[in-house]
Amino acid sequence: MSVHVKVILFACFTSYVVSFNEQGIYKNIKTDYVVEQEAVISNVDFKIKLKDSKPKVSSPLRFTNQQKPKGDRYETYKPNWDDLDKRPLPTWYDEAKIGIFIHWGVFSVPSFRSEWFWWDWQGAKYNNTVDFMKKNYRPGFTYADFAPKFTAEFFNADQWADIFNTSGARYVVFTSKHHEGYTNWPSNYSFNWNSMAVGPKRDIVGELSTALRKRNLHVGLYHSLFEWFHPLYLQDKENKFRTQQFVKSKTLPELYELVNTYKPDVIWSDGDWEALDTYWNSTEFIAWLYNDSPVKDSVVTNDRWGSGVMCKHGGYFTCSDRYNPGKLQSRKWENAMTIDSQSWGYRRNANLSDYLSIEQLIDTIVETVSCGGNILVNVGPSHDGVIKPIFQERLSQMGEWLKVNGEAIYSSVPWKFQNDTVTPKVWYTERITDTVKTVYAIILQWPEKDALLLGAPVPSKDTTVHMLGSDMSFTWAKGPSRGMLIKIPLIPYNQMPCKWAWTFKISNLLNS
C-alpha cells in the first residue's frame, strides 16, 4: 500500500473519531480508537470476493422458486435480480416454519422505549426519551457510556439454545449488529465498538452459533446495512449516495466476515431503506453468497437489500415488520413478529398487557403457516443475558402446543382453502407424502355445540377424521348443503390433547 493511500485512510479514520467525538459519542474510549487505527488500516486490503376474513381458494403450492439447471449442476448466478430470484429456495427453510428472532445489543442497557433508543434520543429527539436521559443520567452521558454496562454476565449460550429448542423452533436469527453499529462478534471492522472490546468481552455470535448447532437448529444472523451516526455513512448520504465509503470499508467487509467465520444459514438484512441496492452492492454480495460462499447450498436471504427491493426481490419476502397478509402469497414469505407487541428489544417498563397471550401467539402461527409463511417469533433479552420468564413461558407453551400439533405445521403446504368457508377461526394446512394427501383443520376456538361444521372439505365415503394427540376417531356426516359435519363427543378436560387450538386430521377427501 502506498504512503499516499495510507495518509488518505488515516485522515478518513481520524475524521471518523473526530466526528463521533463532536457528537459526544465514544468520548470515553476515543483514545483506544486512535490507537487501533493503524491495525484497522492494515486490514483495508480485505478483498470483496393485512387481514382478510373471507375464505381464500388456491392451488397447493411449494415454495422452491424456479430452478436453473445446467446438466447436473446449477448455473452460476449473475449479480442481477432477474437471475438471483430464480435460485431455488433451500428446502429446509420452507419445512422449518418456526423460527426465533433475538434482538440484543447496547440498546438493552437503557431498555427504554425500543431498540431504536439511540435514534429516539439523539436523532428524532423524542421528548419522553430526552426527558428519560435528563432525569436518570449525568450531564454529558453518551450512548457509548452504555456499552460497559452491557455486561451479559448471565448469558449462557447452551441455556438459550435449550429454551429455543424446547420452543419447537427449527431456526434462530440473532442480531449480529443493529443500526447502532455495535457488533456482537469481534469484528475487524467495528474497532472498539464490539462485544469483545467493550461490554461482555465475549464472542456472542460464536458462542450462540455453536450451542444452536449442537441442537441441530439452523443459525441465522440479522445484520443492519446502515448505522445511524457513522460518519462515513452520513458522508455518503450527504453525497446522495454517489460515494460508497461506508459500504466498502464497513458494510461489505462485515458481511463477508460473518459468512466466512460463522457460516450462517440465514442472512437477515435490514437498514436498507435510505439507499438503492446499487449503493449497497447487494446483488454482487448475494451472487457471491449463492455461488462461492461456504454456505452457498444452504443459505437463504430475505428481501431488505435496498430501497424499493423489499417484497419484490430476495430469497423470501418480509414486506414489512409483523407482515401477516391473511391470504396465500405467490412467493415464500416470513412473518417477523414480537411477543412484546411494542418493541423488538427488551423494555424494563413493559406491562403484562403488552405481551401476546399464548392464544394470540398460536393464532398468529396457524394463520401464517396456513397462508404459506414462516413465522419468526422475537424475544428481547435483558442487558445481563437473561431471557425473562414471560418470554420463556410463551416459548415453552409454544413448544408444548407444537409437540401435539407439529404434524400440521412442519413440512406442511398450503391447502386449496386457507380458512374455512363457513366457520370462522378455522385454518387449513396440507401434507403430501407420495400420493397421499392429508388435510389438517386447525380450530382456534372449541365448538360451543356438539358438532363442527366445515364448509371447505368435500368428504368421500372413505373419509376419516382424527384429532392430533388423541386416539379417538370422530364420526361425521355430510353438511346440510356442502362440506361436512364433524360430531364432537363430550371429552373430559384432562383428556384433551392440548390446551389451545386443536387439529383435526382429515384423510381421503374428494378435494384434497
- What is the tens place of the pLDDT at every residue in 277-319? 999 999 999 999 999 999 999 999 999 999 999 999 999 999 9
Nearest one of 337, 339, 297 to 320, comparing CA atoms:
337
Q: How far apart are CA 85 and CA 83, in angstroms?
A: 6
**Grid cell locating 123:** 436523532
Q: How far apart are CA 160 and CA 163, in angstroms?
A: 5
Average pLDDT over residues 418-437: 93
Phi, psi at residue 199, to the nearest 5°? Answer: 100, -120
What is the tens place of the pLDDT at every residue in 230-268? 999 999 999 999 999 999 999 999 999 999 999 999 999
| DSSP states of 191-223 | TT-BTTTSSS-S-HHHHHHHHHHHTTPEEEEEE
Asked if 283 and 48 count as a contact pair (C-beta separation under 8 A), the reply is: no
What is the rounded radius of gyration, in angstroms, for the C-alpha atoms of the chain?
25
Say what the pLDDT of residue 65 is: 52
Phi, psi at residue 250, to the nearest 5°? Answer: -135, -65
Phi, psi at residue 61, to the nearest 5°? Answer: -140, 130
Q: How far is CA 245 from CA 9, 23, 36, 192, 211, in A?
A: 11, 20, 19, 19, 36
Q: How far apart are CA 41 and CA 63, in angstroms?
A: 44
What is the tens place of the pLDDT at every residue in 103-153? 999 999 999 999 999 999 999 999 899 999 999 999 999 999 999 999 999
Q: How far apart are CA 83 and CA 76, in angstroms?
A: 9
Instruction: Indicate whether 71 pLDDT > 90.
Output: no
Label residue 242 left, alpha or beta by phi (over 0 means left) and psi (-120 to 50 means alpha): alpha
**Grid cell locating 439:** 388435510
Which residue carries 434462530 as its cell?
Answer: 172
| Coil, strand or helix at 140 | coil
